[in-house]
Copies of this chain bind each other. A is one copy, B any other.
């Protein structure tokens, strides 16, 4: 007799698949067949993990620091993180507000779990696809706010306010991401202040994804956290992953307002026990050690950004010059292809891998912001040689022109 196998719950089975992953797999398959592929689709830095991190982690291993740490992380790392955000971003965070987590994704998950299921969460659009996945898992409903290319992907405060005023389930949080993925946009200080005031006025928390907070590509520009203006309402999510090129070592953090420490610190025990002990020690070494190796990394990202921007400008493409992170959005809407088809054909015909915009948009193709996202593709410039990035970008422009012709 054939017994029925169990069904996986809809919240998991119907979770949207990542389009970046689709392109990534296809690009790897193509490369495996010996074809040349220009990989402009992935957000994994190819700069070295600094010696400070490697050495600090090895020392922890040799000292057998291999057992559970406190759920919220080792005191040394919590203190180092508080010092870093206070010094670099003008905050007033105490170490006991810092919860160390195995990567920023876990920090976002914790932040979502502080919201009642059924509530809505305002997410930037285009925005990181995992926001959609996590909302599904934690029982939150998505409400998309617009980041328009014509506004250089800065949010519109009036639109945010009207969404906060809209009817429906209560709004639990405004999620912001600055510097942004996929846009590379650093939100203006006035925008951050405006969001902080809106959050206060409506009694809504801010989940601030600041994973790229230390990657600012323009001198004189500063990363501003809403924790500076609304410390009691901000859940700040960060990680050492990108700045220190240690994405696989899983050291992230969530900074919670003082009033929320007691009610959120239980999450670590209930979900992940703790971030990897040895990597936490590597994180201390990263933050407290010599920064000269790391400071060179921004210069590399800047050079790459400038090279790509020059090519796109020369080709008369519509795009926004990013001033943070290592991503850039290009408008390919007039090519007459969906962004996914554009990306698939670009890979097939020109060997160039990019992420497609609809992946960063609403799930529902009928949503008005879907079409806007579907006009865009994302270039990531954190890895690959200058030649690879240049040729890849040139081929993208070439393919676009061919489609528009």
Inter-subunit contact A116/B10 (CB<8 Å): yes
Least CB separation from A50: chain B residue: B66
Asked if A271 is at the interface of the complex by the 8 Å CB criterion, the answer is yes
Asked if A109 is at the interface of the complex by the 8 Å CB criterion, the answer is yes
Contacts of A137 in B (CB 8 A): 113, 267, 270-271
A67 interface neighbour in B17, B68, B247, B266, Cβ under 8 Å: B247
Inter-subunit contact B66/A245 (CB<8 Å): yes
A264 interface neighbour in B8, B172, B274, B278, Cβ under 8 Å: B8
Count of chain A residues with Cβ under 8 Å from any Cβ of B? 77
Contacts of A264 in B (CB 8 A): 8, 12-13
**What 1/0 mask marks residues of chain A from 256 to 283 whose CB sits below 8 Å from any chain B CB?**
0101100110110111111111110000
Contacts of A270 in B (CB 8 A): 15, 105, 130, 133-134, 136-137
> Copies per complex?
2
Inter-subunit contact A133/B103 (CB<8 Å): no
Contacts of A271 in B (CB 8 A): 105-106, 109, 134, 137
Least CB separation from A173: chain B residue: B6
Least CB separation from A101: chain B residue: B272
Least CB separation from A251: chain B residue: B276
Asked if A18 is at the interface of the complex by the 8 Å CB criterion, the answer is yes
Give the shortest distance, in Å, between A313 (CB) and chain B (any CB): 31
Inter-subunit contact B44/A66 (CB<8 Å): no
Contacts of A58 in B (CB 8 A): 58, 61-62
Instruction: Enumerate the 5 nearest inter-chain pairs by beta-carbon distance, A residue then B residue, closest first.
Output: A248-B277, A133-B270, A8-B263, A13-B263, A49-B66
